[in-house]
Amino acid sequence: MNCGSELRVTFVDLGMSPMCESYVPAEKLNHMEPFYPLHVYVCERCFLVQLQEYVSPEDIFTEYAYFSSYADSWVEHMRRYADMIVQRLALTRDSLVVEVASNDGYLLQHFVRNGIPVLGIEPAANVAKVALERGIPTLVKFFGEATARELVAQGKQADLICGANVLAQVPKLGDFVNGLEILLKPGGVITIEFPHLLRLMAETQFDTIYHEHFYYFSLISAEAVFSSHGLKIFDVETLPTHGGSLRVYACRAGDSAKNVSENVQQLRREEEAAGLHRIESYANFAEQVKETKRKLLEFLIDAKRSGKTIAGYGAPGKGNTLLNYCGIRTDFLDFTVDRNPYKQGKFLPGTHIPIYAPEKISEVKPDYVLILPWNFREEIMQQMAHIREWGGKFVVPIPEVIVYP
Chain residues binding Zn ion by CB under 5 A are 2-3, 5, 43, 45-46
| CA angle (88 as vertex; 84, 94 as ends), nearest 5 | 105
- Cβ proximity to Zn ion: between 221 and 241 the closer is 221
- Cβ proximity to Zn ion: between 2 and 109 the closer is 2
Min dist CB 215 to Zn ion, Å, is: 11
- Cβ proximity to Zn ion: between 3 and 381 the closer is 3
- Cβ proximity to Zn ion: between 10 and 263 the closer is 10
- Cβ proximity to Zn ion: between 217 and 325 the closer is 217
Residue 12, beta-bridge partner list: 40
Q: Report the helix count and the strand count for the chain, using DSSP H and E.
A: 13, 17
Min dist CB 246 to Zn ion, Å, is: 19
CA-based R_g, the chain, Å? 22
Beginning with the edge strand found earlier in the chain, give each strand of the sheet holding 368-371 in spatial order.
355-356, 336-337, 310-313, 368-371, 393-396, 402-404
Min dist CB 41 to Zn ion, Å, is: 10
DSSP letter assigned to residue 348: -
Q: Contact at 8 Å (CB) between 14 and 36? A: no
Min dist CB 48 to Zn ion, Å, is: 5
- Cβ proximity to Zn ion: between 3 and 139 the closer is 3
| CA angle (298 as vertex; 292, 300 as ends), nearest 5 | 105
Other CB atoms within 10 A of residue 382 CB: 8
State yes or no: cis peptide before 399, omega within 30 of 0. Answer: yes
Min dist CB 242 to Zn ion, Å, is: 24
DSSP letter assigned to residue 55: S
Min dist CB 183 to Zn ion, Å, is: 25
